Structure 1
Amino acid sequence: MGHALGYARVSTGEQDASLQHDELTAAGCYRVFTDTASGSLESRPELNKVLDQLRPGDTLVVWRLDRLGRSIRHLIDQLAALQERGIEFRSLQENIDTSSSGGRLVFHLFASLAEFERDLIRERTNAGLRAARARGRTGGRPPLLTKDKLRTARKLYEQQDMTVAQIGEVLGVSRTTVYRALRRETGTATPVRRRQTTIKPEP
């Protein structure tokens, strides 16, 4: 039987992680890793440590779902990656345990809702672009993003629900064009986002 490792994260406004530690310890975690919200959500060294130490048959336990995921899409990607490695997941507040049939059902429901949300974003964006073209703007694959498209690209990128390639597909430009435009806007190099994991239904 595998081990249970806990992960806690103290967000802005919280005093400390004592409550999370107590709950995770009571749930059987023999070690708890804790990140504090002192910097970017992209930088979570303790999460990287616990993910590195988990082995097939182990269980990652969190106090609440938002301790692990920045968004529904990010949470689903994290859970899919754990599933591929043979690692189970538990969230104490939501009573989700992927080692049970009920927990697996909730996981796949979340995945379906995240995919549905992404499709809605794509539909709304395409509808807006069609309306813009109907007002006299040209479509196709322009070499540069218009001001409206750049605003849309930045919003979609910050929502973390689509890859840069998917944003480019929706806006009708290449992925490179999106990267260059975002770099020019911020004046810094835009980090490369990992390709999103495809959720495979259980047999």
Structure 2
Amino acid sequence: MPHTILYARVSTTEQTLLHQRTQAERAGFKIDEVVADHGVSGVSTRLCERPEGKRLYDKLRAGDVLVVRWVDRLGRSYTDVTEVIRHFMAKGVIIKTVINGMVFDGATTDPMQMAVRDALISFLAATAQAQAEATKEAQKAGIAHAKVQKGKYRGRKPSYTREHIEQVVNLPEGMNTTDAARATGLSRQAVLRIRANPEEAYARVAKWEEHSA
């Protein structure tokens, strides 16, 4: 019997994993199993190299559905994302995203639909890499700013974490603030602050992390 598996990549907190499952279920998915990697970078590791990501290659069978919050959970480079999606489609696995309800099905045989599907995969893969690079630069700028401000007043503790910032920065372009807040579990105000200045958001988090270290 076909299974629906949610794959999640989270930094450390179980709450974030729970949020991703809840978000998927609210979008109408009936999840049979959750496979999650904790504290694993999507930039430096491919899906097949992650402890739990490896299991997907053994577990998923033709007819199964692989659910991810967004394609960046599968990889953060153009090559990785396209290879992963095409690998599973070739096995007969259907890949679906929670955000925007994207569906990638290898059973498509109509030439026009195949062309549109493959073009969309390429576009989203390129977007995932561009967002990863933008996130990395924002992190560097934020950490550098925090070092300059070392010892100065840190202000109120931010209501978001590094992972929250990454989630906001990597949301699909054009997503409105209300939907972004629902997707990340943050308030609209927090989303607006992060979007307005990701570097400053990273700097605020870095200040508090340095103090707690």
Q: What TM bracket, shorter-length normalisation? A: 0.3 to 0.5
| Greater Rg over alpha carbons, structure | 1
The alignment's TM-score, normalised by the length of structure 1, stands at 0.47
The alignment's TM-score, normalised by the length of structure 2, stands at 0.45
